[in-house]
Structure 1
Amino acid sequence: MKVLVYGLMSVLLIPFVFPTWWMVTSSVKPISDIFAFPPDIVPTRFDFSTYGRVFELQPFAQQYWNSAYIAALVTAGTMLFSSMAGYAFARIKFPFANTLFMIVLIGLLIPAEVTIVPLFQIFLGWDMINTHWPLILVPVFGAPSVFATFVMRQFFIALPKELEEAARVDGLGRFRIFWTIALPLARPALGAVAIFTFLHSWNLYLEPIVFLSSPANFTLPQALTQFTDAYGGALWNVQLAAATMTALPVLIVFIIAQRQFVEGLAHSGLKG
């Protein structure tokens, strides 16, 4: 029975694994071999110079750093503000709390394309065009933070009230209770929020092409579209080499935090 289950799982795994395998192997193939049919599972010729050309054609190291530090700041900021907002909505009683929370959730229903022009006008007035500030401020205080606030609220609602009551008997204030008791217990939910937020920031494409114009300020999704030859044609093997290096941090983050990711979804009521 186990052999049958493992065999079925292996077959179902192919559609998920093969595109990644094709990307990695094609990044070291000559362009003429990439679109061969049937595709070569294992390359017959290897050309590792494509990885060097990635850094020759674009300031890729700088662009890599841009995406890394922006994603780190956005993730940290979202975790901080969403945890405080989620705790407030879950544990603090104030007038119209549920109504206000529903209004906040409406932000998830508004497509980014609807707000991009007003946001551009705002950041233009603040002289922040062609800087990274829009890529940091918009996700931290926009829709990704709204979803993170929802996840954190669902987690904090499930915490036993006895913990807060015992902390109040010991003389702790509201912020101390949040910081020393509620937040450490919320590590599974914070792990899920961190993964969602990091992936969203790392893969962000629309906002960079609107707010950024200098190649030195580009983030990776925008930079991946710039690997072309003198005639404007795509350098597929070089693009795939850049895409392979771009995908590595995503895999690393998920492998490290996958347990927190699963536990966070389970405790916040989002499991399938």
Structure 2
Amino acid sequence: MKTELSPRAQTLAYLTLCVLLIPFVFPTWWMVTSSVKPVSQIFAFPPDIWPRAFDFSSYSDVFKIQPFALQYWNSAYIAAIVTVGTMAVASMAGYAFARIKFPFANAIFMVVLVGLLIPSEVTLVPLFQLFLKWGMINTHWPLILVPIFGAPAVFATFIMRQFFISLPVELEEAARVDGLGRFKIFWTIALPLARPALAAVAIFTFLGSWNLYLEPIVFISSSDKFTLPQALTQFTDAYGGPMWNIQLAAATMTAIPVLIVFIVAQKQFVEGLAHTGLKG
């Protein structure tokens, strides 16, 4: 039985949440407002909560110093391909581990989960040698293939497996009576019901690909092939010092797609975690 809080308790709870929100919101607020401040005002003490004067020239300078639009496109299309590819591979693998009985299924799944325990830094050298042999260095192929078929997809497979396990078996039994095969059951029944889990996988995967930093540094050397995390480190002056207002303008534009994806899919994201046993 749910007990409703009194108006006073609700007000206190909201005030407490607002105070706890400050450490999370203030850095973003500082980034956005500092991107339109003169450099001398960015590090003023005490800090200015609101700019004294708005200077939007840093946003245009971002595109003059580097091919930022191209780098933005690089991150966008790589993240889109990785997200769709991971959702496809993880959903099929998760369904297989959850519903198809085959020899050593649990043992194989445990081996797959070991991928979560291996740091990505450990596999960088062998992966570099492999892609060098294939002639894929300084291309985007390593940034696409590794997340879809490598360790980053293991967590997505785990989420999908947990969700498919929670689906009633009676749904599949009824479908078999109607003459549907295994793939048809997966495609027409299981996958449409897995939209919350797919949303959770999409957000995790998109965010991971969008923010990927170490792998692009290893595999990419041409500025026109840079992704956004690489590009953000290149806004420096003639002495190698950071151009703070321009870096913050670029960082602000970089954060926009992630916020949009989360806002659009946040309801399904929460439902997906609730159905996979990952909620706190």
Q: Give TM-score scaled by structure 1 length.
A: 0.99
The equivalent of 1:211 in structure 2 is 219
3-state SS of the aligned residue for 2:32?
helix
The equivalent of 2:115 in structure 1 is 107
Q: Distance in 2 between matches of 1:8 and 1:153?
A: 37
Is residue 195 of structure 1 aligned with residue 203 of structure 2?
yes
3-state SS of the aligned residue for 2:77?
helix
Is residue 10 of structure 1 aligned with residue 18 of structure 2?
yes
- Report the CA distance between 1:131 and its aligned residue: 0.4
How many residue pairs get aligned? The number is: 272
What stretches of structure 1 move > 2 A for 4+ residues in a row? none
The equivalent of 2:72 in structure 1 is 64
Q: Distance in 1 between matches of 2:270 and 2:13?
A: 22
Is residue 223 of structure 1 aligned with residue 231 of structure 2?
yes
1:201-234 per-position Cα deviation (integer Å, ceiling 9, x unaligned): 0000000000000000000000000000111110
- Report the CA distance between 1:144 and its aligned residue: 1.8
3-state SS of the aligned residue for 2:233?
helix
Task: Give the letter for the 2:238 counterpart.
Answer: A
Q: Distance in 1 between matches of 2:152 and 2:204?
A: 8
Q: Distance in 2 between matches of 1:201 and 1:240?
A: 21
- Report the CA distance between 1:2 and its aligned residue: 1.7
Is residue 262 of structure 1 aligned with residue 247 of structure 2?
no
1:138-163 per-position Cα deviation (integer Å, ceiling 9, x unaligned): 00011221000000000000111100
Q: Distance in 2 between matches of 1:47 and 1:230?
A: 22
The unaligned stretches of length 5 or more in structure 2 are 1-8
Task: Give the letter for the 2:234 counterpart.
Answer: Q
3-state SS of the aligned residue for 1:85?
helix
Matched-pair identity in %: 81
1:56-89 per-position Cα deviation (integer Å, ceiling 9, x unaligned): 0010000000000000000000000000000000
Is residue 96 of structure 1 aligned with residue 104 of structure 2?
yes
Q: Distance in 2 between matches of 1:108 and 1:240?
A: 33
Alignment of 1:1-272 (within 5 A): 1-272=9-280
3-state SS of the aligned residue for 2:139?
coil
- Report the CA distance between 1:119 and its aligned residue: 0.3
The equivalent of 2:6 in structure 1 is none
Q: Distance in 2 between matches of 1:23 and 1:164?
A: 51
Task: Give the letter for the 2:263 counterpart.
Answer: I
Q: Give TM-score scaled by structure 2 length.
A: 0.97
- Report the CA distance between 1:46 and its aligned residue: 1.5
Q: Distance in 2 between matches of 1:244 and 1:225?
A: 14
1:3-61 per-position Cα deviation (integer Å, ceiling 9, x unaligned): 11111111111001000000000001111111111110001022100000000001000
The equivalent of 2:4 in structure 1 is none
3-state SS of the aligned residue for 1:249?
helix
Query: What is the root-mean-square deviation in Å for CA atoms of aligned residues?
Result: 0.5
3-state SS of the aligned residue for 1:259?
helix
More moved, 69-78 vs 30-39:
30-39
